[in-house]
Structure 1
Amino acid sequence: MLVEGMVVLVVDNGYGSFAVVREAVRGGPVVGWVDDEDIPVTNVVSDDGSNGSNQSYLDWHNEEEPVFWEIEQQTGKFCWVHAIVDTLEGLYAITHGERIKLSKQELVDNVFASNRDNYDEVTNTYSSPMEKGYHWIMANGLSLEADYGSGKYEATIQEPKARIPGRQILHLSGASLINDEHTILTELKKSPGAAVMSLALDQMDLQDTNAVYSIASNTRQGQYHAIVVSGYDDTGSRNAYWVRDSMKSRTPNEGHYRVTRASGVQSGERNPIMYLIFPYGVSLR
């Protein structure tokens, strides 16, 4: 419930206003649908900060009115699939006020099946650009998890399954690839984004729940990992992104932690995030 004294960020995503509330006592976000004229609060911050205040904390990953399902442990080698589907499910919940479960397996079978020979024995992964997955969904849609194959994620490449006639599928209008920090922050106020970051983070012991992780400037490049960026946090000494990571057993808070933004990188460090992809225009039909 919204009460006097809470700090609210009202985001107009084209389907109505969505309030992101930060409670002073708990420090965490609470989200819920509201009408602009019915907000009984002070300190209302517009999405462009036009009242002179800048929102310093936003995280679509929360416990009160979640837009995500619980982070699934990655059982295969398909971090790209987890990032794409997690982002789409979050966006659908934000724009339509309802959580849905999409089929990761359909994406693996159709997008990664064409990549069978592109196997890296060093990293033990099948490589496929995240853009390829988004383009496939824009062209073909994506089934609900219960309507594809066995109804669960098998985490192995299988022959594509025929869709059940008459069942709804997710349609996606488009997606934008962004690597400019200012634009990323603007887009994060509307929805989470799927990100590519250096896999060097996975070589660290990511168990400090309060840390903001970065990458040493001398770390070898060339290995990358797909995650979801669920928000940002400027309340501490460093500008950071909140991320959701499918390798939750090897990361803090079971896959929910912070990494340095470009503006928070210090001497001897490198920005871990390469770019984000923000999908838009999701519907079931």
Structure 2
Amino acid sequence: MASYSQGLLFAILACACVLTTLAARDLADDWSIVARHEQWMAKYGRVYSDVAEKAQRLEVFKANVVFIESVNAGNNKFWLEANQFADITNDEFKAMHTGYKAPVGGNKGRKTGFRYANVSLNALPASVDWRTKGAVTPIKDQGQCGKCCWAFSTVASMEGIVKLSTGKLISLSEQELVDCDVDGMDQGCEGGLMDNAFEFIIDNGGLTTEGNYPYTGTDGSCNSNKESNAAASIKGYEDVPANDEASLQKAVAAQPVSVAVDGGDNLFRFYKGGVLSGDCGTELDHGIAAVGYGVAGDGTKYWVMKNSWGTSWGENGFIRMERDIADEQGLCGLAMQPSYPTA
């Protein structure tokens, strides 16, 4: 009987020890995530209205960190980080930071005609980087005007063709588009479409410079005096054939191209470095610009994309995305609706 009692006591003590260890580990994890959240808040200057909001954001931050670390623990060609978007949910992120509006009628309403159709893929260089050729301005940050990605994508590809046609790299005004291109689908900080913006620029005789009409990150009234002082213009625009990465490569080999992607996908949202690959959505909601392509050391083909979320995001504001994947829509839908301006 004594032996049975001693065994039972030992089992109880062992269970208590395990539970204590697990509780201590959970407590340590909790304290660790609290400390990381505090460090993150300091890094990004985040301030909450009260203790309740801070507690709520801590839980969101923790869930995002768990996702990020689970991805980073895998055998991937890329890695993620808890960046400036780590304390908001995916639904909040999409509502606040994605603003691409798909064209009415989908691909049926897209323009026909593609000037690079007869270019041979075999004649293209193995890699192209318009950054090294002086056709890409420094990374910009759309900030709190979170749905005006369409304006930044439009301007990025226009800055590229202006450089290639005139020899001058001019930082052009996204704010002019945000304030003045508001009579159709394009609605400033509430979203827009790159093709519509190209049409506005053509009809308006061009765009002024960033310096003349600086970015404010808010919807404003159109300044007609600044708007009338055009610094660069385009003659037209064309759509790359949909769902065709080979055609996109032909276009990007010749000039920077505006691209729509599923920027609300968490892999894209938290991207930090490497070649993004894997299971990314295709619900187009974000405008960026393809500014090159190449091949990684392990043989992975990739696109170089310019984003507008500041230099702390991704690879100093840029992202490399896997190229020529099995899905004809391209990674995150990047091949679905590309377009570019013509000079």
TM superposition score category, shorter chain reference: 0.5 to 0.7
Q: Deviations over 1:134-191 (max 9, x none)?
A: 111111133322675xx31112111111135984443221111113222221121211
1:272 maps to 2:333: yes
CA shift, 1:53, in A, is 6.7
- 1:238 touches 1:264 (CA, 8 Å); kept in 2? no
1:98 maps to 2:179: no
Distance 1:166 1:249 in 2: 31
Equivalent position SS for 2:140: coil
For 1:54-133, what aligned pairs fall within 5 Å after superposition? 55-62=125-132, 65-75=133-143, 76-77=145-146, 78-112=148-182, 126-133=190-197
CA shift, 1:48, in A, is 5.4
Counterpart residue identity of residue 128, structure 1? G
Distance 1:234 1:248 in 2: 25
Match of 1:141 among 205, 208, 213: 205
- 1:214 touches 1:271 (CA, 8 Å); kept in 2? no
- 2:153 touches 2:287 (CA, 8 Å); kept in 1? yes
- Structure 2 CA distance for partners of 1:169 and 1:66, relative to 1, 3 Å: closer
Distance 2:138 2:211 in 1: 20
- State the structure with more CA Rg: 2
Distance 1:271 1:146 in 2: 30
CA shift, 1:60, in A, is 0.3
Unpaired runs of at least 5, structure 2: 1-117
CA shift, 1:227, in A, is 0.4
- 1:111 touches 1:136 (CA, 8 Å); kept in 2? yes
Greater share of residues in helix: 2
Equivalent position SS for 1:86: helix
CA shift, 1:244, in A, is 0.6
Distance 1:130 1:166 in 2: 21
Q: Which residue pairs with 1:233 in the alignment?
A: 294
| TM-score for the superposition, normalised by structure 1 | 0.66
Distance 1:111 1:164 in 2: 14
CA shift, 1:239, in A, is 2.3
Q: Which residue pairs with 2:260 in the alignment?
A: 196
- 1:175 touches 1:280 (CA, 8 Å); kept in 2? yes
- Structure 2 CA distance for partners of 1:202 and 1:227, relative to 1, 3 Å: farther
Q: Which residue pairs with 2:10 in the alignment?
A: none
- Structure 2 CA distance for partners of 1:58 and 1:166, relative to 1, 3 Å: closer
Distance 1:99 1:170 in 2: 10
Greater share of residues in strand: 1
Distance 2:234 2:291 in 1: 19
* Structure 1 stretches of at least 4 aligned residues deviating more than 6 Å after TM superposition: none
Percent identity among equivalent residues? Answer: 18
Equivalent position SS for 1:258: strand
Q: Which residue pairs with 2:25 in the alignment?
A: none
For 1:235-250, what aligned pairs fall within 5 Å after superposition? 235=296, 236-249=298-311
Count of residues in Structure 1 that have an aligned counterpart in Structure 2: 217
Match of 2:276 among 206, 213, 233: 213
Distance 2:278 2:253 in 1: 26
